[in-house]
Structures are given as C-alpha cells and as structure tokens.
Homo-oligomer: A and B are copies of this chain.
Amino acid sequence: MPHASSAMKTVRRYLPILEWGRSYDGQTFSSDLMAAMIVTIMLIPQSLAYALLAGLPAEMGLYASILPLVAYAIFGTSRALAVGPVAVVSLMTAAAVGAIAEAGTMGYATAAITLAFLSGLMLLALGLLRLGFLANFLSHPVIAGFITASGILIATSQLKHILGVPAHGEALPDLLISLLTHIGQTNPYTLAIGLAALAFLFWVRKGLKPLLLRTGLRPRMAELLARAGPVAAVAVSILLTWGLGLEAKGVAIVGAVPQGLPPFSLPSLDPGLLRELLVPALLISIIGFVESVSVARTLAAKRRQRIVPDQELIGLGASNVAAAFSGGYPVTGGFARSVVNFDAGAETPAAGAFTALGILIAALVLTPLLYFLPNAVLAATIIVAVLSLVDLSILKRAWSYSHVDFAAVAATILLTLVFGVEIGVSAGVALSVGLHLYKTSRPHVAEVGLVPGTQHFRNIRRHDVETHPSLLTIRIDESLYFANAAFLQDLVMDRVVCDQPIRHVVLMCSAVNEIDLSALETLEEINHRLGEMDIRLHLSEVKGPVMDRLKRSHFLDQLTGEVFLAQYDAFRRLTGPQGPARIDPVAAGA
C-alpha cells in the first residue's frame, strides 16, 4: 500500500515524536530526567524574571514554561532545545504590548497572550508553507548587533528594580532620562539587596566553579552547581526579606503568586488589536526562530544529528499557540538553557516534557514561598544573564573584514538602542538586504586579455596580457539580474562610445550563474544598440543552466555575434591571423 505508507511518512514528518519515541528506553529516560531536573532548577527563577521583564505577572513566566514545552516535545526536531521565556523575546513583548496597554492591567496580559497566539500561527504557517528560508534574510551582523543592543537595553531597563525607582522607556535615551530623573528616590534597602545579588551572581558565574573544582568535585557537577546559583540567591533573599521585614521598608517584592494549574486562556480576536500586533508578532516570530534554530543546529551537529528548520517552525508555532491557551506569553528556544540541557545529558525532546512537569510542580507547590522574593533579585538574575549576550567585539571583527558588514552591525546596534527593538531589527533587515543589493548592483567587472603562451584570460589592469584594438572582452563576476543590468549597459556603452576601433564585444560569462528577464532585455538592448554602431556582441563560457534558459528566448536568434564555448576560441576567431575580422553592417532590428 504505497498510499498508506506515504500518508504515514507525512504524519511522521510532522510528528517527530513518532520517530524518537519508538526507540525510547529506560536508559534514555534516566538521562532525560536528570537533564530535566537541572533545567527546572535553572528555569524557575528565569521564568519569573523574564515575565517581570515583559511587564507581566510572575506566574505567566511559569505558565509559559509548562504546556509550550510539551508542545515542542511533540513537534520539535531538536533533541536538546529547551523552550520557554527568553530575554530578547520578553523585551520585544514588552515593547509591543507596552505600546498598546498599561503594564499591570488585564488588557496588557491579554495582549501578551494574543501576541503569543499570532506569533504561533505565523510560525505554523511559515512551517507548513516551508518558508523557513525567510529567516536567512537576517544576516549574522544584524543578529549579532541586535542581540548585543537588546542585552544593553534589557540590563539598563532592570536598573530601576535594583535602585527601587519607577522608570520606563522602550529605548536607551528614554530609559536613561527616566532613571536619572528618579535616581534621588533610590531605596537603600532595595539597592543593597540588588547589589549583593549582582555581586553574588557574578561571583557564582566566574568564581564558584573553580572553587568547587578545587574541593575535588567532578567538573560536570561543579558546572551544574554553579548554574544553580540564582536559586540560592532567590532562597536567601526571600528569607532575608521575610526575616528583616524589608517589605515595610519599601523593598518591592513579587507578592502573591497564584497557586495551581495554568489557567485556560483565550487570545483576543479584536481586529484592531490583531492589526496592531501583526508586525510585532512577525518580528518576534522571526527573531525567536533565528535564535532557536541556530542553537538547535549547533547542538545537533555536535552529536551528528540533524534538525529540520521547517519542522522547527511548526514546533515553535505549536509552543506559542500552547502558551496562548495556557496563560503564557511568547516563547522560543533559549541559548544558555539549551546548552545546559545538552550538557546535562538530554537525549530526546522528552527532557522538555519532564522539565514542564517540574515547573508544574513548582506552580502547584512553591508559589506561596515566592511571596517575599524581591524584584531586585530577579532583576539581578536578568542582568547577569543578558550581559553575556553583549558582545561588542563583533564591531571590530566586522570592521576588519568588510566595511559593508560593519555598517550593518553598527546601524543595527545604534538604531536598536536609540529607537527600540522593533525599529532596530526592521532597519537591520532592510539594511542587510539593501547593502547586499547595492553590492551586487555594482558587480566586479574586468576587461580581460590573453596571458601570452596560455589559454587563460586575466584582468588587463593587473596582468601583462594580449589584447586587440577591435576586440573588447568584459568578464562579469556576478549573476546578471535587474539590479545590475543597467550598470552593465552603461559600462559597455560608455566603453564603446569612447573607443572607436572596437568592432567586437565579448561578454565572458564564466561567473554568471543566472540571467533574469530584466538582464535578458538589457542584453537585447545592448545587442541592438551595438548593432546600430556596426559592432557585434558575442558571449563566451556561458554555463549550462544559463544557456538552457537563453535558448527559450529569442535572444540567440537576434544576437549579432556568436556564443563561444571557451573565451580562447572567441579570441582566436575574432583576432585571427588575417587581422581583425571585418563584419558587414548589421541591421539587427535597426
């Protein structure tokens, strides 16, 4: 039954769980469970903190770490990706939703849920239509610049919690002005807790692991204990705040976090809201996908496994839809968390489902304990986590490699800092695409001649080569398409207008991988104009697929000259021993 088996293949493609689930055994189970426990410990403070960053109640961070993880376990292809709330997407959520509703209101939470829903639908649609390639339009410099600038923005936005002052603003200038305006109202207790937590967490990150190693602990255990540092900070700060009654002294705390299962929630279907969230949802989808797929790709390669980008879109889409229906907000695969999951031995996506179970238990049992957790400690967790995202060395690397790439990084960083995440990333994409088109619209073009004694042709400006006054040979080092067609036309026409003895123009197409319709029409125009000037146009070294396509047009019938397989043949024929081949006036279309 080939029909049934092809249907089965389709089902398997969309449900990777059927593939890895079949060989699931006790050994894999215990590996996954171990990894899940460690990721859970890491995720509890992170999920609370990122919800705070997104301007949402802490419990929404927990909810976003339950059902979405189960959905990814069913539909995702990466064996190690740990899905949940992440810093950059939380910041983008705050920016998108903050433009629509006041933080802390019901409308704000509904907008965040709706954003997750829209983003989920978009990811699913992109996956089903196999449009994962769209994410490739974000160039590395733009992503690097965007992540760095987001890290700076996030860290700055959390300073208000460390100082215990109100402050707001989506971009750096607003944030700084707002912070400076309120700095006189700094709460000393909050500041003390915040700075202590920051110092402790930085030390945990840099100093704890070497210390543990010196006590004889195994490296892997030391690494994992160091990852649990934030949990220790959370526990100690809760005890201190409760014991010293710091709430009464103005230290902002998380407060009552509802205890229980994630609620059933529904996205809003208000057309106005949906329209306003459309662009932010698209940007969040793409940024989330790009971040997620790049860590998934890296981890898969380490074990000679593979991921399927289009199926990853479906996995992340399902996660976000699940988030929307269970009181969560936009999620994606987190970098640090996935690396921990991988290092802790996760072998299948089931580890994610077990993590979800761990967070569920936390939501059912631990939430009353979080009442006295100071916001300043969560802010410190975020700051320490995001400062690892800030990497200004990309500026130096880009500068030394290519000024065009440097322009893209610098502009993305600057625009993100000054105008916020949405304008920053949109401008970055536009700039990447624009600069790429600009580069290819002025392709490298060389006038070439014969290297004496060989059949090779080289740039006449770089090499001592043979040429002939009646023959102009131009090698184009780029595919010919709409953006560079006019450039070629101007170049050829300028050259023949200035140099009267030319009777033959050969376009050497060895590096031309494509000729689109615009370029074809331009070649027809060049052929026609040269014909009017009594000059023949020839092509040489045209690639197979390009030639196949040219044969489908009328260009080759109109061509005043010939198509030569090798440039050497063209040179020999057109500058034969009897001197420049005279041609009759060509009336080609004139």
Contact = CB atoms under 8 A, between A and B. Distances in A.
Interface of A: 133, 135-142, 297-298, 301-302, 304-306, 309, 397-398, 400-402, 404-405, 432-433, 436-444, 477-479, 481-487, 489-490, 493-494, 497, 510-511, 513-514, 516-518, 520-522, 525, 529, 532-533, 543, 545, 549, 552-553
Contacts of A545: 444
A138 B482 CA distance: 7
Contact of A405 (B439, B489, B517): B517
Nearest to A459: B544
Nearest to A550: B401
A136 B487 contact: yes
A132 B479 CA distance: 20
B397 A517 contact: yes
B478 A439 contact: no
B517 A137 contact: no
Contact of A486 (B136, B483, B533): B136
B517 A402 contact: yes
Contacts of A549: 401-402
B518 A141 contact: yes
Contacts of A514: 439
Contacts of A479: 440, 478
List the 5 closest pairs (A to B, CB-CB), nearest first.
Answer: A139-B482, A140-B518, A405-B517, A301-B529, A139-B518
Contact of A398 (B432, B477, B513, B517): B517
A441 B136 contact: yes
Contacts of A438: 133
Contacts of A493: 301, 306
A43 to B, nearest CB: 27
A517 B481 contact: no
Given A436-B482, A513-B478, A401 B297 contact: no
Interface centre among A139, A405, A552 (most CB of B within 10 A): A139
Contacts of A486: 135-136, 297, 309
Interface centre among A309, A438, A513 (most CB of B within 10 A): A513
Given A141-B517, A436-B516, 18 more contacts: A133-B438, A133-B442, A136-B441, A136-B484, A136-B486, A136-B487, A138-B482, A139-B517, A297-B489, A301-B493, A301-B529, A301-B532, A306-B493, A402-B549, A404-B516, A405-B518, A432-B482, A440-B479
Contacts of A543: 477
A518 B406 CA distance: 11
Contacts of A511: 510-511, 513
A437 B497 contact: no
A302 B532 contact: yes
Contacts of A485: 136, 140
A433 B437 contact: yes
A312 to B, nearest CB: 12
Contacts of A533: 304
Nearest to A290: B486
A271 to B, nearest CB: 19
A64 B437 CA distance: 35
Nearest to A512: B511
Contacts of A139: 481-483, 516-518
Contacts of A402: 516-517, 549
Nearest to A297: B489
Contacts of A398: 517
Given A518-B140, A549-B401, A444 B133 contact: no
A477 B511 CA distance: 8
A439 B136 CA distance: 12
Contacts of A138: 482
A136 B434 CA distance: 12
Nearest to A406: B517
A433 B482 CA distance: 9
B436 A481 contact: yes
Contacts of A142: 482
Contact of A137 (B297, B432, B483): B483
A525 B477 CA distance: 27
Interface centre among A397, A483, A525 (most CB of B within 10 A): A483
7 contacts: A139-B481, A139-B516, A297-B489, A305-B497, A432-B482, A444-B545, A478-B479
A587 to B, nearest CB: 14
